[in-house]
Amino acid sequence: MARPLAALERFFERLFERPAARLFRTSIQPVQLERRIERAMEAERHIGAQRTYVPDRYRVQLEPADLAGFAGYQATLEAELSAAVLDRVRRRGYTLAEAPRVTLHGNPGVAPGDIVVLTGRRDPLDARPAPQGFARLDVAAGPAGPPAPVSPAEREGTAAFSLAEAPIPAVALQVEVPGQPVRLFPIRTGSLSIGRGQDNDLILADERVSRRHGRLAVRQGALVYDDLDSTNGSFVDGRRVHQVVLGLSDEVWLGGCRLTVVAEEPAAWTP
């Protein structure tokens, strides 16, 4: 159920913004898309026992003539809006299952000047790799068709949609442990266990690091770090994190150890 304040906000949007857009045919600005996406994020956040989960997919539907206003730089705008979502998530300490993605779509069922944001999220448990010896079964998505008109009920709800397989980023960890030389640890596929115990993929010889401290995994082309309920915690930008999507130059502190995401190849990658 939508929060009362969000419902009231949408009422005033319909009352003032949309009639004005139809009368004067003003073009939609990127900042309006960003603000509407932010409101959709806040309206659809779910608070768990220790984390606040928000959607990682934002499908922005516009009247086709409004969408045409972004012709020539739509892909760039989608990337910038996705980066803005990630920045807001990091600043507010929210949790994502995957790197956020914003896409723009034309829909004749949307009124001129209106912005409809449909959100989707992936269950974090579904993003985890299957246990050793098992394979995860995913339901195949059906063929995609043309966008259907948006009903009033759908405007207040959420929608999930299938995603194309993303490439694995060519990145590595620059590992700095007190008293040891700096080393590079390449990141391949699957997950990477990190801790003080000898059974980890990346062993950190620091008493402040737990035996099973954290896990790093590649999910849909994004680099996701999970803290495994460590004693002293994991920190990014001075803030303790439980789960976070990482990008180039991000630093994760475990005890006195610093793990920095760097490019393994000259080509840069940003989630």
Query: Please, are residues 148 and 106 in contact by the beta-carbon 8 Å criterion?
Result: no
Among residues of the chain, what percentage have pLDDT more than 70?
67
Report the distance separating Cα 83 and Cα 224, nearest Å.
15
Return the pLDDT at 95: 85
Looking at the structure, tell me whether residues 106 and 201 fall in a common domain: no
* Residue 182, CA distances (Å) to 64, 177, 259 in order: 53, 7, 10
Residue 73's contacts (CB-CB under 8 Å, 6 or more residues apart) are none
Return the pLDDT at 15: 46
CATH number at 90 reads 3.30.2320.60
159 domain residue, yes or no: no
pTM recorded for the entire structure? 0.44
Query: Please, are residues 100 and 89 in contact by the beta-carbon 8 Å criterion?
Result: yes
The 10s digit of each residue's pLDDT in 229-270 is 999 999 988 889 998 888 888 899 999 999 998 887 543 334
Looking at the structure, tell me whether residues 109 and 209 fall in a common domain: no
Domain span holding position 108: 4-120
Return the pLDDT at 175: 95
Place of tokens 């449909």: 118
Residue 5's contacts (CB-CB under 8 Å, 6 or more residues apart) are none
The 10s digit of each residue's pLDDT in 116-173 is 999 987 655 555 554 444 444 443 334 444 545 555 544 444 444 444 444 455 788 9
Q: Which of the pair, 189 or 168, is modelled with greater confidence?
A: 189
24 domain residue, yes or no: yes
